[in-house]
Chain A
Amino acid sequence: MTATDGATPTIVLVGHGMVGQRFLEALAERGLTAAHRVVVLCEEPRPAYDRVALTSYFSGKTPEELSMTDMAFIEKEGIELHIGDPAETIDREAKRVTARSGLVVDYDVLVLATGSYPFVPPVPNKDARGCFVYRTIEDLLAIEEYASTRTTGAVVGGGLLGLEAAGALKGLGLTSHIVEFAPRLMPVQVDEGGGAALLRTIEDMGLSVHTGVGTQEIVVDEDGAVTGMKLSDGSELSADLVVFSAGVRPRDQLARESGLTVGERGGIAVDEQCRTVNDPHVFAIGECALASDGRVYGLVAPGYEQAETAAAAIAADEAEELTFTGADLSTKLKLLGVDVASFGDAHGTAEDCLDVVYSDSRSGLYKKLVIGRDGTLLGGILVGDAEAYGTLRAFTGTVPPVSPESLVLPAGAGGPVQLGPTALPDDAIICSCNNVRKGTIRGAVTEHNCTTVPEVKKCTKAGTTCGSCVKVLGQLVTAELEASGVVVDKGLCGCFSQTREELYEIVLALRINTYQDLLDRYGRDSAKGGDGCDVCKPAVGSIIASLAPTIGASGYVLDGEQAALQETNDHFLANLQKNGSYSVVPRIPGGEITPEGLIVIGEIARDFGLYTKITGGQRIDMFGARVEQLPLIWTRLVDAGFESGHAYGKSLRTVKSCVGQTWCRYGVQDSVRMAIDLELRYRGLRSPHKLKSAVSGCARECAEAQSKDFGIIATSGGWNLYVGGNGGATPRHADLLAQDLNDAELIKLIDRFLMFYIRTADRLERTSTWLERIPGGLDHVRDVVVEDSLGICEELESLMTAHVAHYRDEWADTINDPEKLSRFVSFVNAPDTPDPVVGFVPERDQIKPDLPLLSIGLRPADDVLEGSAQR
């Protein structure tokens, strides 16, 4: 088959990776897709996706979410995309490409964007079962499958990608080793000092690091599956799975075979326009190209620049003569929990440059700036705290307005100076992935009328790749809006111009006890008298519920208007599942339960056919209840003495406990009793986000109290109170608030702490983020709740006393209220008919949702946490 079309000139793109896709966009922007036939040969079984974010697959991103290809774009531009069909030969004389399927295309212009392949050192058994590379979604799927039945993994290579891969293996539950030939980790990006700090952090994460040794042989069992590796120092490492991440090599084979010049160490040689040096009709861009400065760039930003350059050359657009002569090699590690960044001339190779170094190996901090004789910031390395990366990178090449020392010193040591983004020069590069300068971002606000970060991202492409610049981007957009006289709206939502904290003060001071009253009196003019929105309704509903006894509102969330303010979970006092059924979680204070209690739960679950699971919060979840079953289930639970566990509410979840002094030989206090007391005291307390707690009977910390919003650890002298801990997506260790408290002191302090948090936090802000955000941080909170610096402690305590005195189990209230019960039906016109969409199929002797109809669309927001979907 020959696919030619004599009339329109044809552009053939080989390789549909990140750079290839950018090239197509660049063609479209220049109107070239209209004037040309564009044919794309894509080797992988899926169109271009975000390889930079590959690892986020393991944190829950689906392959669809990683996709960078908008099929509507491909269609609209008339691009012929051949998926799973790689180019096999190029005949440059005939200007013809042949693909594996036999497809033959004649080109006028050929663009090679074939990327790289992972280099696998030629060690014996390198292809054994259990050996992988880390480059494509298919690689990850294969690793994930293989890892599911193994326990130990090893990564060959301790560079940027190696560390990412090791983190991913750890995330898959494997004990992980990293083997690096160089004497330190990330040898390309960091220097010796940085390597030492990095090593500490990585080891603290539970990864074993072996530097200064090479892999000599992969050891296999009689079935040919990996069991370990032999290292150059004679030692052996056992591992069920090996990932090679020892660098990449340009995929230049196709070019080589067609007689194009390739570099000594690989890479298709091109000139400043990205045209191959041998053939004016052939271009090479991205990781397969050897740029005119003699380098092959292994990062996406230079590739994007090359894509633009090649498209401009093809357009022969005189007004826009782009050249590619080199690029910035800034990088930031995306591995969760490790802050490492290097930018500019990180190793100080420029003549006469000076270093400014701050290092604290105890806390794994290392920061180095490379400064020129005239004070110009040339580059730097940040390990342990890369907070300043965005700003520093943008200042590279200029003389920063403050002394370099103040940029790296930690708080309290004379620094750090907050460099406002306004201090940046207009030509500072803010987004190095997409080469976007500050001036362009300002222009997006001032000339293109963008008013939000998402709009600016769309308009400039800044922040759309690795995301490391988004923070600075946000600061710039706010600064620019403020400068142009726009008052930046800090209001809760489109209905209220006040923050949540301000609304709390209004509700409390004026004793406002309905949402409508608040909206009509204090809402924005446009919102007064209206229906509000899904942001402020639950937020205000929560404020009213927290303060209910004090402001004279009903504490029962289904009463009157309050019912209409609740998210579906609170509305049905249960958690919505993906097929429309609900889960049921009775409270099991402190995780302590009698055998009778267990039997009742077991009987109920059996009688209603529910799926049961022990939760991560030391209690039992029963899944798969239909709405109309909820009251029946709860009637039996309440009869047996159970009450709501508020698993659905932004309120106290669990107070976990360890077995403590009563049984454990190490225990120094009765942690179970304290956990039960606390859980019963704070149950039902509505708050800006959920609250979790735990009590450990000694410093061994079996209850993981330091990962909780308030955590208590027993000491021989009493209790230590920790606050602001968090598990979840951004874990944070709690800070010690006070030591050696007796029972009464402990409870008083928690009362004050929680009420102060409820008063001042933003909606959906956990204590951890709140503590990080509020001015003065932990010290301020300690001043307020321990020293009573604001004189409000008495009020905080009395608010809590009122809550405790008025607590009622909302499930007991509900099953005794026929009007409320009538809402628990699938259909208002057929109360006895169950929702036919709710279906189940068996799995491992229980049930799971049957979802044949689901997933016809993708969710739009990238951040879909419970109740916090961002728009």
Chain B
Amino acid sequence: MTLAPETTDLKIQLRLDNSADDWFTVCDLSLLLPGRGVAALLPDGRQAAIFRDRAGSLYAIDNRDPFGGAAVLSRGLTGTHQGRPYVASPLLKQRFDLESGRCLDDETVAVRAYEVRAAA
């Protein structure tokens, strides 16, 4: 794979392992449109869906829709439900909490959530 050239100062970084100080640099912060997601390919072959809201906060969850199986959560519409940020899957519209990864429409389902930061 070829990685995109990194040009600006602030980079989006994901923490791959919560117990370690293992931050993976994804791309420039400027590539993230508020209210819209992007997908990132992780070193282990997994995919993360990364979002930025209007206030500038960043979120990252697994990209794969556990209902439909396709890796498309990054392409869903985002919003706020009871004060919490979510993305609605573009396949069958189930909503996922962006902070915890929990599905708001089926409490038995959740996707992995990643810690994410913008760093120089």
Kindly provide the distance from the CB of A61 to the nearest chain B CB, expressed in whole angstroms: 15
Which of A565, A567, A856 contacts B67, CB < 8 Å? A856
Kindly provide the distance from the CB of B117 to the nearest chain A CB, expressed in whole angstroms: 15
Q: Which residues of A contact B88 (CB under 8 A)?
A: 534
* Contact between A828 and B40, CB atoms less than 8 A apart: yes
Q: Mark B9-47, 1 if CB is under 8 A from A, else 0.
A: 000000000000000001100010111101111000101
B91 touches A (CB below 8 Å): yes
Of the listed stretches A95-103, A222-230, A265-273, A833-841, chain B binds A833-841
Which of B2, B45, B67, B80 contacts A836, CB < 8 Å? B45
* Contact between B70 and A864, CB atoms less than 8 A apart: no
Q: Mark B60-77, 1 if CB is under 8 A from A, else 0.
A: 000010111111100111
Interchain CA distance A855-B65 in the complex, whole Å: 10
B53 touches A (CB below 8 Å): yes
Kindly provide the distance from the CB of A358 to the nearest chain B CB, expressed in whole angstroms: 43
A568-B75, A568-B76, A832-B1 are contacts. A857–B54 as well, Cβ < 8 Å?
no
Q: Which residues of B contact A3 (CB under 8 A)?
A: none
* Contact between B41 and A531, CB atoms less than 8 A apart: no
Q: Which residues of B contact A861 (CB under 8 A)?
A: 92-93, 105
Q: Mark A256-295, 1 if CB is under 8 A from B, else 0.
A: 0000000000000000000000000000000000000000
Interchain CA distance A533-B91 in the complex, whole Å: 16
Which of A531, A563, A833 contacts B80, CB < 8 Å? A531
Q: Which residues of A contact B109 (CB under 8 A)?
A: 857
Interchain CA distance A825-B119 in the complex, whole Å: 24
Interchain CA distance A394-B47 in the complex, whole Å: 55
A530 touches B (CB below 8 Å): yes
* Contact between B69 and A567, CB atoms less than 8 A apart: no
Main secondary structure of the interface of B (DSSP, over half): loop
Q: Which residues of B contact A688 (CB under 8 A)?
A: none
Q: Mark A573-586, 1 if CB is under 8 A from B, else 0.
A: 00010111000000
Interchain CA distance A869-B1 in the complex, whole Å: 37
* Contact between A829 and B27, CB atoms less than 8 A apart: yes
Q: Which residues of B contact A602 (CB under 8 A)?
A: none
Interface centre among A529, A564, A832 (most CB of B within 10 A): A564
A856-B69, A869-B92 are contacts. A564–B39 as well, Cβ < 8 Å?
no
A572-B75, A578-B68 are contacts. A860–B47 as well, Cβ < 8 Å?
no
Q: Which residues 548-574 of A have a CB within 8 angstroms of B?
A: 561, 563-565, 567-569, 571-572
Kindly provide the distance from the CB of A818 to the nearest chain B CB, expressed in whole angstroms: 13
Interface centre among A495, A527, A580, A832 (most CB of B within 10 A): A580
Interchain CA distance A578-B13 in the complex, whole Å: 30
Kindly provide the distance from the CB of A675 to the nearest chain B CB, expressed in whole angstroms: 32
Kindly provide the distance from the CB of A819 to the nearest chain B CB, expressed in whole angstroms: 10
Interchain CA distance A742-B35 in the complex, whole Å: 48
Kindly provide the distance from the CB of A645 to the nearest chain B CB, expressed in whole angstroms: 20
* Contact between A567 and B90, CB atoms less than 8 A apart: yes
* Contact between B47 and A827, CB atoms less than 8 A apart: yes
A859 touches B (CB below 8 Å): yes
B120 touches A (CB below 8 Å): no
Kindly provide the distance from the CB of A489 to the nearest chain B CB, expressed in whole angstroms: 16
Kindly provide the distance from the CB of A539 to the nearest chain B CB, expressed in whole angstroms: 11
Q: Which residues of A contact B50 (CB under 8 A)?
A: 828
B100 touches A (CB below 8 Å): no
A510 touches B (CB below 8 Å): no
* Contact between A833 and B41, CB atoms less than 8 A apart: yes
Kindly provide the distance from the CB of B97 to the nearest chain A CB, expressed in whole angstroms: 13
* Contact between B34 and A837, CB atoms less than 8 A apart: no
Q: Mark A825-854, 1 if CB is under 8 A from B, else 0.
A: 011111111011110000000000001011
* Contact between B78 and A837, CB atoms less than 8 A apart: no
Q: Which residues 576-601 of A have a CB within 8 angstroms of B?
A: 576, 578-580
* Contact between A530 and B67, CB atoms less than 8 A apart: no
Q: Which residues of B contact A836 (CB under 8 A)?
A: 45
Q: Which 5 A-B pairs have the closest CB atoms?
A: A854-B69, A564-B35, A533-B79, A580-B70, A568-B90
A-B residue pairs in contact (CB < 8 Å), sample of 19: A516-B54, A530-B54, A531-B54, A531-B79, A531-B85, A537-B79, A563-B36, A565-B77, A571-B75, A576-B72, A578-B69, A579-B70, A580-B71, A828-B26, A828-B27, A828-B39, A828-B50, A835-B71, A860-B105
Residues of A in contact with B (beta carbons under 8 Å apart):
494-495, 516, 527, 529-535, 537-538, 561, 563-565, 567-569, 571-572, 576, 578-580, 822, 826-833, 835-838, 851, 853-861, 864, 869, 871
5 extra A-B contacts, CB within 8 A, seeds A537-B35, A828-B40? A561-B35, A579-B70, A828-B27, A835-B71, A864-B92
